[in-house]
């Protein structure tokens, strides 16, 4: 069973073996409002944990998306170019951003599980 972790920057990562699929959370998409463009990283790009790797544009503003873990991008969600609204409709499904081959799975320990993230969001008011 896949394990999902969350960052304080409101990204989720679904872990399957060495691969992590990354997107933004329901809370993040609600805060952003209607998403109109997502700039996803190219495959084979090496990214460091905490690095700004993607940009999500809503009608209101542009927001950076940070890599929750280090590794190499192996695939990005090309469908978002035509249907950026998927991020609003299914942020943890069709609205995923990119997949990464993790270089250090130990970094996952610094992320939150679902309960901890729910408490974190609640604390934001």
Whether 22 and 12 have beta carbons less than 8 Å apart is answered as: yes
Rg (CA), the chain: 13
43 vs 81 by CB, closer to other proteins:
81
Query: Least distance to other proteins from the beta carbon of 112, Å?
Result: 25
Query: Least distance to other proteins from the beta carbon of 35, Å?
Result: 10
20 vs 84 by CB, closer to other proteins:
84
Q: Tokens in use for 51?
A: 């690095």
Site residues (vs other proteins, CB under 8 A): 33-34, 36-37, 39, 55, 57-62, 81, 88
Classify the phi-psi angles of 61: left when phi > 0, otherwise alpha if psi is within -120 to 50, otherwise beta: beta
37 vs 118 by CB, closer to other proteins:
37
62 vs 118 by CB, closer to other proteins:
62
Q: Which helix (H) or strand (E) holds 95?
A: none
Query: Least distance to other proteins from the beta carbon of 34, Å?
Result: 4
Whether 2 and 34 have beta carbons less than 8 Å apart is answered as: no
């Amino acid at each position: 069973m896949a394990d999902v972790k969350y960052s304080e920057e409101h990204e989720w990562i679904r872990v399957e073996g060495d691969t992590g699929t990354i997107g933004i959370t329901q809370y993040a998409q609600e805060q952003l409002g209607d998403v109109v463009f997502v700039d996803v990283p190219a495959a084979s790009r090496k990214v460091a944990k905490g690095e700004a790797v993607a940009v999500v544009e809503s009608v209101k503003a542009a927001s950076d998306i940070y890599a929750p873990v280090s590794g190499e991008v192996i695939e990005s969600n090309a469908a978002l170019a035509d249907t950026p609204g998927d991020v609003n409709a299914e942020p943890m499904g069709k609205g995923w951003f990119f997949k990464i081959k993790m270089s250090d799975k130990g970094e996952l320990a610094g992320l939150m599980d679902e309960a901890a993230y729910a408490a974190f969001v609640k604390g934001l008011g």
